[in-house]
C-alpha cells in the first residue's frame, strides 16, 4: 500500500507536469494533494513497516514529535486545499465566464500558499504545546503512530486543557471548511439542475465528481477518527480507522482521479 501510494501520487505529479491540457488550477491543487499524501505516508508507514519486520516497537521522542508535526500539517493542509478546490469547482461550474478573473494562476498560488501555511502553523502550535509537556522515561503508546491524543494521555502533567484546545481548534477549522465545501456544492448542484439537457448535466457533473468522492472519503474518515469523543474501549476501533487513514485514503487520490477522469486518461494516452 505504501508503494502504491507513493508511485500513484508520483505518476499523478508527472502526468500533470507533462500534459499541456492539465495545466489548470484544479490539477495544480491535485498535485498539491499528491505531494502532501507522499509526505504524510512517508512519515508514518515506513516506521510501521520497520516495526513489523524487526519487531522492535520502540520510537524515539524526536521521531514521535516529527510524526505528530507532519500528521497535523498534512491533514490540516489537505482540508484547506479541499476547501480551495471546492471553491475552484464552484467558480468553474457556476460562474464559468469569470473563471479567468476569479481563479487565475496568481489567486491559485495564493490560496495554495495560504493552505500550506495554515497547516504548518497548526502543526507547529500543536507540536510546541506537546513538546512542553514532560513524559517519564519509557511509555507505551497504544496506537499505530504518534497520534496527539494518545501522547497527551501519557504526559505526567495535567494536559486536559491542551486536549480541549486541540479538540476545539480542530472542530472549528473542520467545521468552517466543511461549511464552505458544502455551500459550494449547494450552488454547484443548483446550477447543474438548471441545465436543460441530460448530456450537459452529465458533463457538468463529471467536472466535479472526482472531487466530491475525495471530499466525502476524507471528511467522513477524518470526522470519525479525529473528532469523536475518546473512550477507552474504542482504542482498537481507533487503530483500525487510522489504518484506513494512514494507508487507504492517501492511495485514493490518484486512483479516483485517474480512473474516473477522462482528461487524465486522454493526457496519459498522449504522453505515452
Ligand X SMILES: *[C@@H]1O[C@H](CO)[C@@H](O)[C@H](O)[C@H]1NC(C)=O
The residues of the shown chain that bind ligand X, judged by CB under 6 A, are: 25, 28-29, 31-32, 35, 108-109, 112
Among 238, 217, 241, 242, which Cα is nearest to 229's?
Answer: 238
Q: Output 12 or 151, the one with its CB closest to ligand X.
A: 12
Q: Output 26 or 251, the one with its CB closest to ligand X.
A: 26
Q: Output 114 or 154, the one with its CB closest to ligand X.
A: 114
Least distance between ligand X and beta carbon 239 (Å): 31
Least distance between ligand X and beta carbon 251 (Å): 18
Q: Output 28 or 205, the one with its CB closest to ligand X.
A: 28
DSSP labels, 231-271: -GGGHHHHHHHHHIIIIIHHHHHHHHHHHS-HHHHHHHHHH
Rounded Cα distance, 48 and 95, in Å: 46
Least distance between ligand X and beta carbon 170 (Å): 24
Q: What are 174's three cell numbers? A: 473542520
Among 194, 162, 181, 259, which Cα is nearest to 220's?
Answer: 181
Among 58, 96, 108, 82, which Cα is nearest to 253's?
Answer: 82
The DSSP letter of residue 60 is -
Rounded Cα distance, 204 and 217, in Å: 21
Measured over the CA atoms of residue 49, residue 51, residue 53 and residue 54, the dihedral's sign is: positive
Q: Output 31 or 247, the one with its CB closest to ligand X.
A: 31
Least distance between ligand X and beta carbon 50 (Å): 28
Amino acid at each position: 500500500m505504501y508503494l502504491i501510494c507513493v508511485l500513484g501520487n508520483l505518476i499523478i505529479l508527472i502526468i500533470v507536469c507533462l500534459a499541456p491540457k492539465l495545466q489548470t488550477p484544479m490539477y495544480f491543487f491535485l498535485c498539491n494533494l499528491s505531494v502532501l499524501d507522499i509526505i504524510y505516508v512517508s512519515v508514518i508507514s515506513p516506521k510501521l513497516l520497520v516495526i513489523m519486520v524487526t519487531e522492535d516497537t520502540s520510537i524515539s521522542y524526536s521521531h514521535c514529535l516529527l510524526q505528530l508535526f507532519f500528521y497535523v500539517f498534512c491533514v490540516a493542509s489537505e482540508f484547506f486545499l479541499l476547501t480551495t478546490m471546492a471553491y475552484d469547482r464552484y467558480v468553474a461550474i457556476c460562474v464559468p465566464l469569470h473563471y479567468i478573473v476569479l481563479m487565475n494562476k496568481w489567486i491559485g498560488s495564493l490560496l495554495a500558499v495560504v493552505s500550506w501555511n495554515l497547516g504548518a502553523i497548526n502543526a507547529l502550535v500543536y507540536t510546541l504545546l506537546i513538546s512542553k509537556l514532560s513524559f517519564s522515561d519509557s511509555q507505551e503508546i497504544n496506537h499505530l503512530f504518534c497520534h496527539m491524543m494518545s501522547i497527551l494521555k501519557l504526559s505526567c502533567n495535567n494536559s486536559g486543557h491542551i486536549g480541549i484546545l486541540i479538540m476545539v481548534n480542530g472542530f472549528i477549522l473542520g467545521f468552517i471548511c466543511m461549511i464552505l465545501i458544502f455551500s459550494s456544492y449547494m450552488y454547484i448542484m443548483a446550477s447543474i439542475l438548471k441545465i436543460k439537457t441530460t448530456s450537459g448535466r452529465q458533463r457538468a457533473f463529471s467536472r466535479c465528481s472526482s472531487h466530491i468522492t475525495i471530499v466525502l472519503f476524507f471528511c467522513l474518515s477524518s470526522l470519525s477518527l479525529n473528532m469523536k469523543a475518546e473512550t477507552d474501549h474504542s482504542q482498537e476501533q481507533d487503530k483500525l480507522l487510522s489504518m484506513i487513514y494512514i494507508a487507504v485514503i492517501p492511495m485514493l487520490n490518484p486512483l479516483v482521479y485517474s480512473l474516473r477522469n477522462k482528461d487524465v486518461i486522454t493526457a496519459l494516452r498522449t504522453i505515452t
